[in-house]
Amino acid sequence: MPAWLTWLLVGVVVWAVLSIPVTLYLGRLLRLVGRADRVAAPEPELAAEPHPIVVSGSPAVARRGRPPAQRRILIVDDDAGLRMLLRATLAADEFEVEEAESAQRASDLARFWRPSVVLLDVRMPGIDGLSFCAELKRKPVFGAPAVVLLTGTELSGEQAERAGADALLRKPFSPLELVGVLDRVSGADGVAVEFEPGGEAHEQLLLYARDLGRLLEIERVQRRVVQDAYRETVTALANALEAKDIGTGLHSLRVRDYAVQLTTAIDASLLGDPSLEYGYLLHDVGKIAVPNAVLEKPAPLTPDEVEIVRQHTVIGAEILADVTFLHGEGLKVIRSHHERWDGTGYPDRLIGREIPLGARIFAVADALDAMTGHRPYRKPATWEAATHEIAEQAGRQFDPDVVAAFSRENDTLRRLYDYTGKAA
């Protein structure tokens, strides 16, 4: 190796060895200088935003964009009773609530918990609400929450606005008004409700008692709307299934009516579970996975084809397992409506009372309609022949008690068939 090359290699090695500690030293020095600059620099002030003030009953507040899925509400009031009342009002999945009896305690909470809205009483011992509101708005460490001032004194909107408040509620206030203001200042879409301000004689508890009935009424109306929409959707799906299973006509609707009539006669309390009727309607939803060639086959099915058809109960239950409205008796009907009293049914070979009652009732209704309805592989049986066959299968295919109820309700069920069966 030439001498010059040897010296070059030695120089490179020496440079590499020396550069490592020098680099580390310079890096540490630069970090220390940067840290000193940050400590010396003053905390930046947030630019103040003009927020319109909502005085009790006034219309709207500037929206701040969509709120998080669960809004964090911090209640600050020295009145323990009012804090408890507010917490009860906001005890819902969309609110996460914390409370403090003073501005000092609220300051510690707000620094780390970062509420999206602060409900702040104006008159408190120590730091008053107006001063603490200004502090919440001025210091970035609090995360710039929306502030709703609560007051029972003659506080003007201009005073609240100067403190940076987003809304002002005068005591006593309605719980509906409170929730409406929270929705507006946090940008949520709330339910529109009318609020009539009470006179001086109205106390906070009286307002809450009055609006409790109104809230329940709103909830009932909304629940009925959702249930009606759900029923229409389920019916549309059942009709779509009928279109796939050619020849069954109005089977799902008719067998639902039979099953509801039998359920009323056997144990009407079962119908308190809304999923049951949906299960009656969607009992054959698993046939979506069965090929049309099998469903429409005019000849007897092969053993393999029978096994394919039998899978529709399991497939249907799996398809609808995550549908909340079907949790309960409805899902049991979908899975177990082809079980037999003697244990030879499918898919789980349940015996006797192991089979859910709704499924035992539906098995009779389903068999009745299968026998009296049109099928690609046979003509319909007469009503009398179907009735006789169901009676013969008591204690074998069907629950004897359900068959006895079927016999008692025979005339009513026949009228249902005359109304819908012949039109199919």
- Residues 84, 153, single domain; the answer is yes
Task: Flag whether 33 is in a domain.
Answer: no
Q: How far apart are CA 245 and CA 46, in angstroms?
A: 66
Highest average pLDDT, of 135-144, 247-256, 335-344, comes from 335-344
Structure confidence at residue 12 as a pLDDT band (50, 70, 90): very low
pLDDT at 238: 67
Q: How far apart are CA 233 and CA 230, in angstroms?
A: 5
Predicted confidence (pLDDT) per residue in 356-403, tens digit: 999 999 999 999 998 988 766 678 899 999 999 999 999 999 999 999
Q: What domain count does the chain have? A: 2
164-173, 202-211, 280-289, 356-365: which has the minimum mean pLDDT? 202-211
Q: Choosing from 137, 139, 287, 422, which is the catalytic residue?
A: 287
Cα dist. 13→1, 8, 19, 20, 24 in Å? 17, 9, 10, 11, 18
Q: What is the mean pLDDT of the chain?
A: 76
Q: How far apart are CA 231 and CA 242, in angstroms?
A: 16
CATH of the domain at 182: 3.40.50.2300
pLDDT at 192: 41
For residues 179-202, give the mean pLDDT.
Answer: 58
Q: Is 287 noted as a catalytic residue in this protein?
A: yes
- Residues 250, 396, single domain; the answer is yes
Structure confidence at residue 201 as a pLDDT band (50, 70, 90): very low
Task: Flag whether 35 is in a domain.
Answer: no
Query: What is the SS3 assignment for 412?
Result: helix
For residues 38-57, give the mean pLDDT.
Answer: 38
Structure confidence at residue 4 as a pLDDT band (50, 70, 90): very low
- Residues 283, 383, single domain; the answer is yes
- Residues 405, 259, single domain; the answer is yes
- Other Cβ atoms less than 10 A from the Cβ of 394: the count is 18
Query: What is the SS3 assignment for 293?
Result: helix
5-14, 155-164, 353-362, 370-379: which has the minimum mean pLDDT? 5-14
End position of a domain, from candidates 152, 181, 202:
202
pLDDT at 46: 32
Compute the half-sphere exposure of residue 177: CA atoms within 13 Å on the CB side of its CA: 24
For residues 30-44, give the mean pLDDT.
Answer: 39
Query: Taking the model in full, what pTM does it have?
Result: 0.50
Task: Flag whether 45 is in a domain.
Answer: no
- Residues 277, 413, single domain; the answer is yes
Task: Flag whether 189 is in a domain.
Answer: yes
H or E element, residue 58: none
CATH of the domain at 392: 1.10.3210.10
pLDDT at 376: 66
- Residues 269, 167, single domain; the answer is no
Beta bridge partners of residue 76, listed in sequence order: 100, 120
- Residues 277, 382, single domain; the answer is yes
- Residues 110, 251, single domain; the answer is no
What is the extent of the structural domain holding 374? 231-420
Task: Flag whether 355 is in a domain.
Answer: yes
Cα dist. 52→45, 147, 334, 370 in Å? 21, 12, 55, 67
Return the higher-pLDDT residue of 346 and 204.
346
Would the pLDDT of 17 be above 50?
Answer: no
- Residues 178, 327, single domain; the answer is no
pLDDT at 187: 72
Task: Flag whether 157 is in a domain.
Answer: yes
Task: Flag whether 88 is in a domain.
Answer: yes
Would the pLDDT of 305 be above 70?
Answer: yes
pLDDT at 408: 95
Task: Flag whether 30 is in a domain.
Answer: no
